[in-house]
Amino acid sequence: MSSIHGFAVQAPGDNLLEVENLRVSFATEHGVAKVLDGVNLTIRPGEIMGLVGESGCGKTTLANAILGILANNARREAGSIRFAGEDLLTMPRWQAESEIRGRSITFIPQDPFGSFNPLFPIRTQTMEVMKWKSPRRAAREGRGIAGFFSRYPRARRSADAAAVLQMLRTVQISKPEEAFGKLPHEFSGGQRQRLMIALALLPQPELVIADEPTTALDATIQAQILKLLKRLAKERGVSVLFTTHDLGTAYEICDRITVLYAGQEVETAPVDDFFQRPHHPYTVRLLESLPHPGRELREIGGEIPALVHPPAGCRFHPRCFRATEECLSDRPAVTPLGGGHQVRCYHPITEASRL
Amino acid sequence: MKAALDILRKLLRDPAAAAGLAIVLLLVAVAVLAPLIATHPEAVWDMNPRQRLLPPSEAYFFGTDRMGADIYSRILFGARITLTIAITAVGAALLIGVPIGLVSGWRQSWLGEALMRISDIFLAVPQIVLAIAISQTLGPSIENVILALSVTYWPWFTRLIHAEVHSLRNETFIEAAIALGVPAWRIILLHVLPNVTSPIIVRTSIGMGFTILTASALGFLGLGAPPPAPEWGRMISESREFLPEAWWYALAPGLAIFLVVMGFNLLGDGLRDVLDPRIRRASTGR
Amino acid sequence: MRIVALILKRLAWLVPTLAGLVAIVFFISRVIPSDPAALLAGETASLAQIELLRQKLGLDRPLIVQLLDYYRQLLSGDLGTSLFTTRPVWDDLSARLPATIELTIAAMIVAVALGIPLGVLAALYRNRFVDHFLRVFTVAGLAVASFWLALLLQLFFAMDLRWFPLQARITGFPPPSLSGFYVVDALLEGNVGRLGNVLAHLTLPALTLALPALATVVRFTRAGMLETLQRSFVMYQRAMGIPVGLIVWKYVLRNSLISTVTQIGLLFGILLAGTVVIETVFQWPGIGGYAFEAILHSDYAAVMGFTIYAGVVFGIVNLIVDIGHAVLDPREAAT
* Distance from C-alpha of B135 to C-alpha of B218, rounded to nearest angstrom: 8
- What is the pLDDT averaged over residues B243-265? 88
- What is the pLDDT averaged over residues B154-173? 84
Interface confidence (ipTM) of the complex: 0.87
Nearest CA in chain A to C326: A119
Neighbouring CB atoms inside 10 A of A313's CB total 18
User: For position B280, what pLDDT does the model report?
Assistant: 40
Q: Per-residue pLDDT tens for A5-30?
A: 444 444 555 788 989 899 999 988 78
Q: Per-residue pLDDT tens for C223-271?
A: 888 888 888 899 999 999 899 888 988 898 888 877 777 777 778 888 8
Establish how many alpha carbons lie within 13 A of residue B272's alpha carbon, considering only the half-sphere containing its beta carbon: 24
Nearest to C233 among A69, A102, A116 (CB): A116
Would you say residue C156 has pLDDT above 80? yes
B247 lies within 8 A of chain C by CB: yes
CA A264, A267, A272, A276 torsion-angle sign: negative
Test the B interface: residue of C79, C100, C142, C146 with most B CBs within 10 Å: C142
A100 lies within 8 A of chain C by CB: yes
Most distant CA pair in chain C: distance in Å? 86
Mean residue pLDDT of chain B comes to: 83
The residues near B218 (Cβ < 8 Å, ≥ 6 apart) are: B128, B131, B132, B135, B145, B148, B224, B233
Chain A nearest-CA distance from C1, in A, is 18
CA B230-B234-B240 angle, to 5 degrees, is: 125
Give one DSSP letter per residue of C74-130, joined into a string.
HHTT---B-TTT-SBHHHHHHHHHHHHHHHHHHHHHHHHHHHHHHHHHHHHTTTSHH
User: For position C324, what pLDDT does the model report?
Assistant: 73
Q: pLDDT above 70 covers what percent of chain B?
A: 92
Give the residues of chain A that fall short of pLDDT 50.
1-10
Q: Per-residue pLDDT tens for C183-209?
A: 888 787 787 888 888 888 889 999 999
The residues near B155 (Cβ < 8 Å, ≥ 6 apart) are: B97, B119, B120, B122, B123
Phi, psi for residue C297 in degrees, rounded to 5? -100, 15
User: Is A touching C (3+ C-beta pairs, cut-off 8 A)?
Assistant: yes
C251 lies within 8 A of chain A by CB: yes
C127 lies within 8 A of chain A by CB: no
CA A297-A301-A307 angle, to 5 degrees, is: 135
Nearest to C243 among A111, A115, A132 (CB): A132
Chain C nearest-CA distance from B199, in A, is 18
Residue A336, classified by CB atoms within 10 Å of its CB into exposed (0-12), middle (13-18) or buried (19+), is exposed
Q: In chain B, which residues have their Cβ closer than 8 Å to the Cβ of C298?
A: 136
C272 lies within 8 A of chain B by CB: yes
The residues near C98 (Cβ < 8 Å, ≥ 6 apart) are: C179, C180, C181
* Distance from C-alpha of C188 to C-alpha of C179, rounded to nearest angstrom: 10
- How would residue C23 be classed by pLDDT, with cut points 50, 70 and 90? confident
User: Is B touching C (3+ C-beta pairs, cut-off 8 A)?
Assistant: yes
- What is the pLDDT averaged over residues C98-127? 90
First to last CA, chain A: 52
C331 lies within 8 A of chain A by CB: yes
User: How many angstroms separate the Cα of C134 from the Cα of each of B62, B123, B242?
Assistant: 31, 30, 35
User: For position C36, what pLDDT does the model report?
Assistant: 58
Mean residue pLDDT of chain A comes to: 86
C285 lies within 8 A of chain B by CB: no
Among candidate residues B94, A343, A183, the one with its CA nearest the CA of residue C233:
A183
Which chains are within 8 Å of A by 3+ CB pairs?
C
CB pairs under 8 A between B and C: 162
Whether residues A183 and C331 touch (CB distance < 8 A) is answered with: yes
Which chains are within 8 Å of C by 3+ CB pairs?
A, B
Treating both helix axes as pointing N-terminal to C-terminal, what angle do B110-122 and C2-31 enclose, rounded to 10 degrees? 70
Contact between A119 and A221 under an 8 Å Cβ cutoff? The reply is no
* Distance from C-alpha of A200 to C-alpha of A276, rounded to nearest angstrom: 33
User: How many angstroms separate the Cα of C97 from the Cα of each of B129, C182, C303?
Assistant: 16, 12, 15
Q: Per-residue pLDDT tens for B79-111?
A: 989 999 999 999 999 999 998 888 888 777 788
Among candidate residues A123, A211, A185, A134, the one with its CA nearest the CA of residue C235:
A211
User: For position C306, what pLDDT does the model report?
Assistant: 84
Q: Per-residue pLDDT tens for B192-225?
A: 888 888 888 888 988 999 999 999 999 998 888 8
Strands A239-244 and A48-52: parallel
The most confident of the ranges B116-125, B247-256, C153-162 is: B247-256
- How would residue C30 be classed by pLDDT, with cut points 50, 70 and 90? low
Nearest to C232 among A98, A109, A199 (CB): A109
Whether residues C295 and B222 touch (CB distance < 8 A) is answered with: yes
Whether residues B137 and C29 touch (CB distance < 8 A) is answered with: yes
Q: pLDDT above 90 covers what percent of chain C?
A: 16
Identify any residues that bridge with A39 across adjacent strands, giving them in sequence order.
Answer: A22
Test the A interface: residue of C233, C252, C256, C259 with most A CBs within 10 Å: C233
Whether residues C242 and A100 touch (CB distance < 8 A) is answered with: no
Among candidate residues C313, C317, C115, the one with its CA nearest the CA of residue C211:
C115
A11 lies within 8 A of chain C by CB: no
* Distance from C-alpha of A194 to C-alpha of A214, rounded to nearest angstrom: 11
Chain C nearest-CA distance from A132, in A, is 7
User: For position C35, what pLDDT does the model report?
Assistant: 59
User: For position A8, what pLDDT does the model report?
Assistant: 41
User: For position C330, what pLDDT does the model report?
Assistant: 57
* Distance from C-alpha of C322 to C-alpha of C326, rounded to nearest angstrom: 6
Chain C nearest-CA distance from A112, in A, is 9
Whether residues A147 and C244 touch (CB distance < 8 A) is answered with: yes
Would you say residue B279 has pLDDT above 70? no
Q: In chain B, which residues have their Cβ closer than 8 Å to the Cβ of C21?
A: 121, 124-125
